């Protein structure tokens, strides 16, 4: 007896596969709803991340843009804790002392804090007790007998200006104790007062310098702490030069919340760059990129570099599922714009090119840690037959030429005499213009002031690249013009890079109010 088997195929729309659920760690759309792994609600998992009880931990929120030293008060909610004053450094204007250049880029955002540990006045008068501290009232107190960690980045200038240092963390039971040592520049550290106690310290070295080091201090306070100060230790400093360092990204939270914090291995520009979290042999791990599981990445440390993108890691302990916060991996790019002049019959080496003609040249080189360095070279050959040189500059800036700093519009006859002995006569036609960036726009589709973008005279702007951030530092828009999207009315922070047609670029930052 023969049997016939009839196989029936049912074609069902992908989003209606009954009884199928998403498997959350295989990189496949198992339930055919066009959502894979963490992007599917079937894979909901509790996100665990440390939330700093220090307000404005990365010095991003500003009450004003710093224009000089000793302006920590411009950083929202930070307090100048000591009589010797710390510095607020921000890319909006002031980038620090010429003698103490900060390592670039900053670890987190556009703002940092700079401080001294002893100084030398007028190059000969040492002040070993000149110690600078930043302070803050905590969002919520550190409770007695509980475990906490403060994790932060410290920047080093060089081995002479920034030798190894004991970073100390101090606490007090009342915000009324900020600032301390009022009127006494030689007061020293906070714990010289009965109202303060040292909570912990860590020794940090920057090697040859020009780098950021991420480190932490773990503490168990003996009493409830409502305000903190951070800076150098209490020992006097004997040095022939002033000693200087930088702080950024001061993350203070209960120690358990750091278990799922993603950390970097190697510099982001390194080909060996990977990510990791604290390892526990009793846990099971799975790494994700853009919410999709990375095959085989089931250890506390990723095995290889998968390129730029958004990463997370899930942790299973047999009963619960926990998920790290997103880590945005972006390879930093440095922009340089040197101006070079040379005589005829002389060449300038620019990468593989030997340049002999005036003009603007663009190339990409590898900088420190193998980061891309985009160099826009302005090369001028002195002595060429140039009748008129037309130059446009932004209002408030100067144009440096032939030993002069020019900032007013007009025509300038100039004679160039270089160190090589070449002379040439040039008539400089200098134009000054301004960029207007609105501080509010309506976004109500009435045809008036509905879009946010910078204004400049026709022909002066080549391209605009805009980033908009919310009050928590999240990027909510990237592009050239912003119409507000579906966002709620309020104040947003912008970072706008403008490439001008005369070959230079400038970054503008500030805030804009979205109205409806």
**What's the CATH code of the domain at 278?**
2.60.40.10
Same domain, 401 and 361: yes
In a domain, 35, yes or no: no
How far is Cα 477 from Cα 455, in angstroms, rounded to an integer? 19
Supply angle C-alpha 412, 417, 421, rounded to 5: 160
Same domain, 487 and 425: no
Question: Could you please report the per-residue DSSP string of 11-30?
Answer: ---GGG-TT----TTSSS-T
Q: What is the pLDDT of residue 292?
A: 95
Question: Could you please report the per-residue DSSP string of 406-421?
Answer: E-S-EEEEEEEE-TT-
How far is Cα 55 from Cα 470, in angstroms, rounded to an integer? 16
In a domain, 203, yes or no: yes
In a domain, 294, yes or no: yes
**What's the CATH code of the domain at 118?**
2.60.120.260
Same domain, 253 and 264: no
Same domain, 221 and 103: yes
Domains in the chain, number = 4
In a domain, 215, yes or no: yes
In a domain, 49, yes or no: no
Contact 222, 144 (CB under 8 A): yes
Same domain, 353 and 317: no
In a domain, 253, yes or no: yes
Q: What is the pLDDT of residue 336?
A: 58
Same domain, 209 and 248: yes
**What's the CATH code of the domain at 479?**
2.60.40.1220
Same domain, 250 and 176: yes
Same domain, 271 and 342: no
Supply angle C-alpha 224, 227, 231, rounded to 5: 120
How far is Cα 202 from Cα 219, in angstroms, rounded to an integer? 11
In a domain, 21, yes or no: no
How far is Cα 449 from Cα 513, in angstroms, rounded to an integer? 12
Same domain, 391 and 359: yes
* pTM: predicted TM-score of the whole model, two decimal places: 0.55
How far is Cα 445 from Cα 339, in angstroms, rounded to an integer? 45
Same domain, 219 and 97: yes
Instruction: Per-residue pLDDT tens, the chain, 516 aa: give them.
Output: 333 433 333 333 344 444 578 999 999 999 999 999 999 999 988 887 788 999 999 999 999 999 999 999 999 999 999 999 999 999 999 999 989 999 988 999 999 999 999 999 876 788 999 999 999 999 999 999 999 999 999 999 999 999 999 999 999 999 999 999 999 999 999 999 999 999 999 999 999 999 999 999 999 999 999 999 999 999 998 888 999 999 999 999 998 888 788 888 888 888 889 999 988 888 899 999 999 999 999 999 999 999 999 999 998 877 778 898 899 998 776 555 567 777 777 787 877 788 888 887 877 766 656 676 667 778 877 655 456 778 888 887 888 876 788 888 888 887 766 555 566 667 888 888 888 899 998 888 887 888 998 988 888 888 999 999 998 889 999 999 998 888 888 999 999 999 888 777 888 899 999 887
Question: Among the three residues 242, 258, 274, which one is the final residue of a domain in this structure?
Answer: 258
| Residue 514: both structure tokens together | 């979205």
Question: Among the three residues 408, 430, 452, which one is the final residue of a domain in this structure?
Answer: 430
Question: Among the three residues 203, 234, 258, which one is the final residue of a domain in this structure?
Answer: 258
Q: What is the pLDDT of residue 224?
A: 97
Q: What is the pLDDT of residue 14?
A: 40
Same domain, 206 and 290: no
Same domain, 184 and 90: yes
In a domain, 474, yes or no: yes
Residue 342 sits in which domain range? Answer: 334-430
Task: Please name the helix (run of DSSP H) or strand (run of DSSP E) that holds residue 153, with its range, or none.
Answer: strand 148-158
Q: What is the pLDDT of residue 407?
A: 85
| Residue 239: both structure tokens together | 């040095």
């Amino acid at each position: 007896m023969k049997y016939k088997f009839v196989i029936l195929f049912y074609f069902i729309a992908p989003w209606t596969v009954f009884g199928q659920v998403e498997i959350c760690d295989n990189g496949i759309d198992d339930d055919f709803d066009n959502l894979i792994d963490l992007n599917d609600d079937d894979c909901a998992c509790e996100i665990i991340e440390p939330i700093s009880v220090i307000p404005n931990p990365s010095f991003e929120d500003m009450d004003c843009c710093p224009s000089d030293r000793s302006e920590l008060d411009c950083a929202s909610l930070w307090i100048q804790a000591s009589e010797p004053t710390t510095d607020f450094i921000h890319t909006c204007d002031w980038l620090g002392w010429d003698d103490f250049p900060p390592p670039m880029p900053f670890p987190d955002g556009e703002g940092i804090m700079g401080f001294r540990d002893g100084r030398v006045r007028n190059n000969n008068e040492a002040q070993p007790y000149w110690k600078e501290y930043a302070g803050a009232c905590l969002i919520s107190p550190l409770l007695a007998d509980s475990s906490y960690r403060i994790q932060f980045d410290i920047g080093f200038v060089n081995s002479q200006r920034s030798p190894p240092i004991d970073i100390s963390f101090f606490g007090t039971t009342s915000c009324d104790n900020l600032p301390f040592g009022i009127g006494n520049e030689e007061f020293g550290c906070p714990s010289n007062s009965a109202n303060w106690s040292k909570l912990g310290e860590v020794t940090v070295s920057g090697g040859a310098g020009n780098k950021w080091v991420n480190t932490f201090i773990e503490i168990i306070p003996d009493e409830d702490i409502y305000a903190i100060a951070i800076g150098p230790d209490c020992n006097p400093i004997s040095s022939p030069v002033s000693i200087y360092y930088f702080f950024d990204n001061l993350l203070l939270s209960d120690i358990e919340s750091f278990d799922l914090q993603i950390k970097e291995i190697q510099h982001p520009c390194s080909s060996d760059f990977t990510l990791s979290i604290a390892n526990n042999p009793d846990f099971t791990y799975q790494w994700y990129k853009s919410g999709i599981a990375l095959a085989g990445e089931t250890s506390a440390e990723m095995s290889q570099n998968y390129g730029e993108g958004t990463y997370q890691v899930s942790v299973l302990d047999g009963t619960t599922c926990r998920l790290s916060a997103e880590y945005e991996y972006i390879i930093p790019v440095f922009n340089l714009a040197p101006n070079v002049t040379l005589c005829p019959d002389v060449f300038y080496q620019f990468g593989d090119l030997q340049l002999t003609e005036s003009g603007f040249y663009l190339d990409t080189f590898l900088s420190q840690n193998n980061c891309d360095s985009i160099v826009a070279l302005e090369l001028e050959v002195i002595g060429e037959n140039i009748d008129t040189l037309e130059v446009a500059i932004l209002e408030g800036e100067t144009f440096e030429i032939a030993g002069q700093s020019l900032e007013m519009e007009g025509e300038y006859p100039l004679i160039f005499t270089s160190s090589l002995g070449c002379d040439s006569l040039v008539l400089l036609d200098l134009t000054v213009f301004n960029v207007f960036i609105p501080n509010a726009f309506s976004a109500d589709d009435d045809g008036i002031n509905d879009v946010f973008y910078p204004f400049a005279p026709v022909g002066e702007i080549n391209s605009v690249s805009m980033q908009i951030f919310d009050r928590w530092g999240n990027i909510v828009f990237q592009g050239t013009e912003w119409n507000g999207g579906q966002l709620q009315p309020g104040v947003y922070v912008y970072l706008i890079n403008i490439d001008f047609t005369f070959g230079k670029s400038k970054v503008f930052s500030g805030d804009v109010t979205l109205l409806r």
